[in-house]
Structures are given as structure tokens and as C-alpha cells.
A and B are shown apart, each in its own frame.
With several copies, the nearest count.
Chain A
Amino acid sequence: MAITASDEPVVIGTGIVPVREAWETSLRDLGSHVVRAALKDASNPKVDALYVGNAYGNVLSHQANLGALISEHSGLCGVESHTVEAAGASGAGAFRAACIAVQSGWVDVAIALGVEKFTEVPGSEAESAAALTLNYEYESSQGMTLQAQAALLAQRYLAHWNLSRDIFEGVVIAAYNHAADNPNAMFHGMDEKRYRNQPIIADPLGLYDTAFLADGAAAAVIVRKSTAQALGVASPIFVRGSANAVAPLSLHDRHDLLSWDAVRKSTLAALHKAHLSLADIDWLELWDASVIELVLSLESGGLLEAGKGWQSPPKPVNQSGGCLGRGNPVGASGMYQLVESVNRLQNEDAGRNALIQAVGGCGATAITHILSN
């Protein structure tokens, strides 16, 4: 069949559980729980495909082929399924795969799932496993970690712009305080005293400057606009733009450490696809696995000037609390951003546009979506 451009992907149902340390629950149960919730929310359409965004299941749960595992557990035997992996952008990658699939006309009803389970192993092992998204041969094999990468960026940023680490305080406290209003968040507020007393774990970054690794899952049901009409869905949320762009995986392979090419390209491509400019965007959810990543995303995405990414942005950013306030189930976080944004748009006046961006690795992969109500 021929799909017209105006028959764009829309979201017709979502499922989400609070980010937490879900000791008592398996990867499979976390995933199937939100898949079923999303399907129920969409009035149980017949499903064609389930795309699973996950970064660490192979290592932390010794489990590959999550597509077959979770679809069976969700009562969806026989559908299409595979895993999408792009480090922290895995969930957003599953969402984009679902959008592309319905847009192709080869798939009518797709579910995008983001799921991550860190508490299968003790915290130290989880931190080591998290370094999988670095270049093993030339980064993690030298003793590099995710937090150290963020620290190297932050150190260079402060030196380049002649700033002190105090600039991070306002950004981080805002994230934790926004999370106080998010029922899916692990953290509920932060005061100056607590922030200033944090231990420095990778100079210049402290304990609260990097998001806590945690468990979580979120899912969305995606169809074409015409399918939503046929199903009688009253107010779907439109996916107007979608883009994925990568940069060199390793920090040492980038021409400019402080300019995130993947974020810039992905932002521009998603806006271009949506026929919108940044001025048309009402609010944004950007990536903040660490505070410096949010600063660089704000600068490279064009919302703040270079060297000023720590200042107050001109539009609402990360009112969810972001990864810092919500907790970071890495491969699922992109779906948290998207599902929470869909739910928020459903409660806002019509005509709002939101830009949602997840980043995998330390600026290596950026996947951007533009949602509208």
C-alpha cells in the first residue's frame, strides 16, 4: 500500500512504572508489565510488532533475544520482535523503529518498549557493566568509566570557559526538584546543603552530578494516523519528527570535545522533518545522564550559546526531572522521556510541540523526536 506523508505515526497508548531498584522483579516481568499496560491503554488493538530497547540485558541478566522472551510473556506469541541497542538511546531507538515500521506500511500496530534491569548484580558490577558503552579496546581497557568520561568533559569545559564547578549546582538542584512532581521518579528534591556536601567521585563531578543507575520500563503503542482513526482513538499524539545521528564513540576520536555533533545533527534533522524550528517548540526533554551532558546538549542543540549551557534555558527543559531526578534505567530512559511527554501532551491545550532527545554513550548517538498534540 502507499502511505502518504500526512499519514504520520501517532501514539495511542502508554504504559510506565516508577524508576526504582526493583529487586523482586525480573527484566522479563518489568517489560511485559508495561507492554500490557500500554496495550490496555490503547484498548487492546491486535499487535504486529514489539521492538525492545535495552542496553545491558545480555551482560546483567545473561539474557539475549528479549524479543521472543518478552513477547511470549506478554501474551503476544507470533508477532515480529527484536532488540534495538544504542546505549542510552536504546529506548528512543525502539520508538523510532516502531515509527519507521508503521510509516513503511509493512506493520500496522507496533509497540516500542524500553526496559533495563541493573539490580540483578551488586552495584559495583553494574557500574563496570555500564562501561560496555565505551570503546573497550581503547577506553574501558584503560580503566575508563562512564563517570570518568563525564568528568573529562566537565574538566575540559570548565578550563575552556574559565568557570568553576559551582556552575553545576543550579542545574542539578533544578533536576532533582522537578522530579519531586514526577510520580515515576526515584528522587524527590534536593537542597543546597545536601548538594554542597556531596562526595566528589570523579573530579570535578560529585555523587549527584551523575544519574543513578536503576531499573525501569516504559512502553508505547504506535500506529499510523489513519489506523488510529479506524480504531476510534479520540486524541492521539503525533510524531512529527524523528532522527538518529551518531558521532565517534570515543571522546579521543572527536574533533571538538565540547561540541556534540550527533546532538546537533539529530536536532536539526528532526526539526526539518517536522517542518518546525526551535522557536516552535514549547518544551524539551534532553539527556542528562550527567550534568555536563545536559549542558552540552543545550549548547549543541542550539538552545543556549557555547559556554552558557549551564544557564537558565529560554524554554522549559526537563520538567520531568530528567535522568538525574528520575534515576537512569539506561536503555529504558529514552522511553521514559517519550511516554511521560506523550502523557503530558494529552493534558495540555492543543497545538503544543515538544522535542525529546536521548543520547547513547557520551554524545555518541542522539535520537530526537518531536511530538505534538
Chain B
Amino acid sequence: METPRHWRLKKQRYALVGEECPHCKAKIFPPRDVCPECGLEAKTVYHFSGKGEVYSYTSLTDAPAGFQASAPYAIALVKLEEGPIVTAQLTDIGNEPVKIGMPVEMVTRKLRDDGDERGMIIYGYKFRPVLS
């Protein structure tokens, strides 16, 4: 059980809350103290749209501890419309083959099930194909 950490990250994980750099207007995710684009201080909260495209992906059959219930799963780097890249699982992909460039959108799903750690269930962002 790791309540403090998950409570702390809830905002980012539920809603893709990052930052906008007040100096160079870069959009930043994950949030941090220093803008990776201009090196100045960044603190303005920014809500991402949750829209993006697959930048790279793979699928895992051997899942690590806590993720076995969702295995096999696809994990990806998703390039958000606003610029940053996010690491996340893909979900609801059905039989559609995943491709680099495929448009995706954020949804909230169960991330892990800490069977070993007193049954805590953690929710967070995943991405699914945009229905066209």
C-alpha cells in the first residue's frame, strides 16, 4: 500500500494535468520545476486535451508484478496534440492493429491491482483509439 504517493499523483493520473511554461509557452507533462524547453521556472497548471497519436508501441505477454491481470497488454509512447510524449497503456483496441501515427484519446481505467499490497486498486490514464 502506498497511499501518499498515489494520492499525490491522482490529479495528473486522472486528468493529465501538467504545466504551461509562462516564459516560452511550452506545454509540459509530467509537471516539473524547470521547463525542459527554455530552462526557466514552470508552474502554471495546464489541462491537456487527452488527444494524441501513437509515437511508438509494443505489447507484453509477461507482465510485471501487479499488472498480470491485464496481460497481455499494449504499452505506448503517446504524443499529445500539445507536444509532450506520455508513457501509457493502450486499451479498447479490439482487433484493430496498433500503428505508429494512430490517433488515440485518454480514458481512465484500472491501472494495477496490488494483490500483494493489501488489495489496493489504482486508477489512471490509458489511451484508446479515436473512433472515427
The answer to whether A and B touch directly, with their CB atoms under 8 angstroms apart, is yes
Residues of A with Cβ closer than 8 Å to B? 23-26, 29, 32-33, 36, 61, 72-75, 77, 119-122, 124-125, 127-128, 131, 137-145, 147-148, 151-153, 155-156, 159, 201-205, 248, 250-253, 255, 257
Cβ-defined contact, B75 with A142, below 8 A: yes
Instruction: Name the CB-closest residue of A to B6.
Output: A141
Nearest chain B CB to A121's CB is how many angstroms away? 6
1/0 per residue, CB under 8 A from A, across B43-69: the answer is 000000000000111111111110100
Q: Which residues does chain A contribute within 8 Å of B132, judged by CB atoms? A: none
Which of A120, A131, A156 is within 8 Å of B55, CB to CB? A156
Q: How many Cβ-Cβ contacts under 8 Å join chain A to chain B?
A: 126
- B3 on the A face (CB < 8 A): yes
Q: Which residues does chain B contribute within 8 Å of A143, judged by CB atoms? A: 60, 63-64, 67, 70, 73, 75, 89, 111-112
Q: Are A74 and B34 also in contact (CB < 8 A) when A119-B4, A128-B65, A155-B56 are?
A: yes
Q: Are A142 and B2 also in contact (CB < 8 A) when A36-B34, A202-B59, A257-B56 are?
A: no
How far is A139 from B89 in the complex, measured between Cα atoms in Å? 10
Q: Are A29 and B58 also in contact (CB < 8 A) when A142-B89, A156-B100, A252-B84 are?
A: no
Q: Are A120 and B57 also in contact (CB < 8 A) when A75-B39, A143-B75 are?
A: no
Q: Which residues does chain A contribute within 8 Å of B55, judged by CB atoms? A: 156, 257
Nearest chain B CB to A6's CB is how many angstroms away? 35
Cβ-defined contact, B73 with A203, below 8 A: no
Q: Are A36 and B64 also in contact (CB < 8 A) when A120-B2, A155-B56 are?
A: no
Cβ-defined contact, B87 with A252, below 8 A: yes
Nearest chain A CB to B121's CB is how many angstroms away? 13
- B17 on the A face (CB < 8 A): no
How far is A248 from B55 in the complex, measured between Cα atoms in Å? 18
Interface residues on B, range: 35 or more
Cβ-defined contact, A202 with B34, below 8 A: no
The 7 closest A-B pairs by CB, nearest first: A75-B34, A151-B58, A156-B56, A252-B85, A128-B64, A152-B56, A143-B67
Cβ-defined contact, A252 with B86, below 8 A: yes
Cβ-defined contact, B8 with A248, below 8 A: no
1/0 per residue, CB under 8 A from A, across B96-128: the answer is 000010000000000110000000001010000
How far is A143 from B59 in the complex, measured between Cα atoms in Å? 11
Instruction: Name the CB-closest residue of B to A255.
Output: B36
How far is A354 from B76 in the complex, measured between Cα atoms in Å? 37
Interface residues of B in 1-25 (CB under 8 A from A): 1-5, 7-9
* 28 interchain pairs, CB-CB under 8 A: A23-B4, A25-B8, A26-B8, A74-B33, A75-B35, A119-B4, A122-B1, A124-B62, A125-B65, A127-B62, A127-B64, A128-B64, A137-B5, A137-B9, A138-B86, A141-B112, A143-B73, A143-B111, A151-B58, A152-B56, A155-B56, A155-B100, A156-B56, A156-B100, A252-B77, A252-B85, A253-B36, A257-B77
Nearest chain A CB to B71's CB is how many angstroms away? 9
Q: Which residues does chain B contribute within 8 Å of A255, judged by CB atoms? A: 36
Q: Which residues does chain A contribute within 8 Å of B87, judged by CB atoms? A: 138-139, 142, 144, 250-252
Which of A23, A24, A148 is within 8 Å of B75, CB to CB? A148
